[in-house]
């Protein structure tokens, strides 16, 4: 995507619940630290979340949706606390936002920092955001013997599969450009970018079969645009997956780099991008000032990269990598004793 050329960049800020209110300011400060590398940012505070639902009966106010659609170029979301049981009238605001803004892709990079302990990891999971089992079409039947059987409908369409596949191939092209950019952080990945299709079509031959065939067709019928991107169904640089699989493997992949507090994501559509750290609201540490701000800061970088500001995103990511590599400042989830503000300040100095 070409960078938006304008004098200001209007970004909706939705801290929502728990530690979202502590880490989103860190992302804002990182964006502000970029100076002239991006248009002057203007931050618009917005409301959503479980606490908002308990106060006013609606987790996602209509005004929040209106402002995002009519006034904002992009957005940042903090974290949402959702009940583990059914609550009448409540539905997740982040899921609703994805639908309202047609953010059909959830993009989650998972990368370790060269020089640190642990496995060498550098991949991106591109999760289809709108269908699969997450259409939430469920029903329960009473059986003749008194037992119950629950059913969930799984939806896979060629339209959704085609556009998530195209998003994955475009992302692979962009990753190749980012790795070649001046000042780009070191990476373990060598060779051309690669897209891996995640599926189980050997068992779910109809639904996963449609997903697999449709995504493969994106490259096979691209007219040569993706000739520089390899495609396979095993080891991956960029993995494209249906909603459920993408949710599972992205959370599991976070463990490879040490903490959910390090892993960013962006909810992407064709014309709007919303950064969102992968971690939850962490009510056990909310208000203590020790939440890891890195996932939120990296999510801001991912949002900017998606909008075409590759150099700005590279500066943020290089600063984060430098702080992690030095090992002087880290929050308790990484075995350190630093506060949210201390880690943020260290990153800002590097930016």
The 10s digit of each residue's pLDDT in 77-92 is: 999 988 878 889 998 8
**What 3 state SS string does 291-349 have?**
CCCHHHHHHHHHHHHHCCCHHHHHHHHHHHHHHHHHCCCCCHHHCCCCCHHHHHHHHHH
pLDDT higher than threshold 70 for residue 188: no
The 10s digit of each residue's pLDDT in 210-236 is: 999 999 999 999 999 999 999 998 777
For range 297-304, the mean pLDDT: 97
Instruction: Please tell us whether the domain made up of 116-264 is placed in CATH 3.40.50.2300.
Output: no
pLDDT higher than threshold 80 for residue 192: yes
DSSP at 283: T
**Residue 261, pLDDT score:** 83
The 10s digit of each residue's pLDDT in 112-123 is: 887 777 778 889
Domain boundaries, the chain: 1-103+269-351, 116-264
Token pair 């994955």: residue: 168
pLDDT higher than threshold 60 for residue 334: yes
Task: At 11, list the tokens.
Answer: 């970004």
Task: At 40, list the tokens.
Answer: 């002057």
pLDDT higher than threshold 60 for residue 2: no
Q: Give the strand pairing for 266-268 and 273-275.
A: antiparallel
- Could you list the beta-strand ranges (E) of the chain: 8-16, 40-45, 74-79, 105-111, 122-128, 138-142, 148-152, 194-197, 230-232, 238-241, 266-268, 273-275
pLDDT higher than threshold 90 for residue 176: no
pLDDT higher than threshold 90 for residue 132: yes
pLDDT higher than threshold 60 for residue 272: yes
Q: Please report the sign of the dihedral spanned by the C-alpha atoms of residue 91, residue 57, residue 23, residue 178.
A: positive
Query: How does the average pLDDT of the chain come out, rounded?
Result: 92
How far is 19 from 80, CA to CA, in rounded Å?
9
Task: Report which of 151, 236, 149 is spatially closest to residue 199, judged by C-alpha positions.
Answer: 236
**Residue 4, pLDDT score:** 60
Q: Please report the sign of the dihedral spanned by the C-alpha atoms of residue 242, residue 178, residue 271, residue 23.
A: positive
The 10s digit of each residue's pLDDT in 307-331 is: 989 889 989 999 999 999 999 999 9
The pLDDT > 70 percentage for the chain reads: 96
pLDDT higher than threshold 90 for residue 347: yes
pLDDT higher than threshold 70 for residue 131: yes
pLDDT higher than threshold 60 for residue 291: yes
Task: Report which of 28, 21, 26, 76 is spatially closest to residue 52, judged by C-alpha positions.
Answer: 21
The mean-pLDDT minimum among 6-10, 19-23, 35-39 falls in 6-10
For range 146-172, the mean pLDDT: 96
**Residue 86, pLDDT score:** 82
pLDDT band at 280 (very low <50, low <70, confident <90, very high): confident
DSSP at 143: -
DSSP at 60: S
- Establish whether domains 1-103+269-351 and 116-264 are of one fold: yes
For range 269-282, the mean pLDDT: 93
Instruction: Please tell us whether the domain made up of 1-103+269-351 is placed in CATH 3.40.718.10.
Output: yes
How far is 81 from 84, CA to CA, in rounded Å?
9
The mean-pLDDT minimum among 1-10, 21-30, 260-269 falls in 1-10
- Between 183 and 345, the more confident residue is 345
**Residue 3, pLDDT score:** 65
């Amino acid at each position: 995507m070409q960078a938006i050329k304008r004098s200001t960049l209007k970004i909706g800020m939705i801290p929502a619940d728990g530690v979202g209110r502590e880490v989103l300011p860190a992302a804002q400060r990182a964006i502000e630290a970029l100076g002239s590398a991006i248009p002057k940012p203007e931050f618009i505070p917005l409301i959503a979340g479980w606490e908002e639902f308990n106060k006013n009966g609606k987790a996602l106010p209509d005004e929040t949706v209106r402002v995002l659609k009519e006034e904002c170029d992009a957005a940042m979301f903090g974290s949402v606390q959702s009940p583990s049981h059914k609550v009448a009238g409540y539905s997740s605001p982040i899921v609703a936002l994805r639908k309202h803004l047609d953010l059909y892709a959830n993009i989650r990079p998972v990368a370790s920092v060269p020089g640190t302990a642990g496995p060498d990891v550098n991949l991106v999971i591109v999760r289809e955001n709108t269908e699969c089992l997450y259409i939430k079409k469920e029903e329960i039947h009473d059986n003749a013997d008194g037992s119950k059987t629950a059913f969930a409908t799984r939806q896979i369409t060629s339209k959704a599969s085609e556009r998530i596949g195209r998003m994955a191939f475009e992302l692979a092209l962009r990753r190749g450009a980012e790795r070649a950019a001046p000042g780009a952080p070191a990476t373990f990945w060598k060779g051309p970018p690669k897209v891996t299709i995640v599926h189980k079509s050997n068992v779910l031959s109809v639904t996963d079969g449609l997903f697999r065939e449709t995504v493969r067709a994106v490259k096979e019928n691209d007219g040569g645009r993706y000739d520089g991107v390899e495609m396979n169904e095993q080891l991956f640089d960029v993995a494209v997956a249906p909603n459920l699989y993408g949710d599972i493997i992205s959370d599991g992949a976070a463990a490879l780099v040490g903490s959910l507090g390090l892993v960013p994501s962006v909810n992407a559509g064709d014309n709007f991008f919303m950064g969102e750290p992968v971690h939850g609201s962490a009510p056990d540490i909310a208000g203590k000032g020790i939440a890891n701000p890195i996932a939120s800061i990296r999510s801001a970088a991912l949002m900017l990269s998606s909008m075409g500001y590759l150099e700005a995103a590279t500066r943020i990511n290089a600063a984060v990598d430098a702080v992690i590599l030095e090992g002087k400042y880290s929050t308790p989830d990484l075995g350190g004793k630093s506060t949210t503000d201390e880690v943020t300040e260290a990153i800002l100095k590097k930016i």
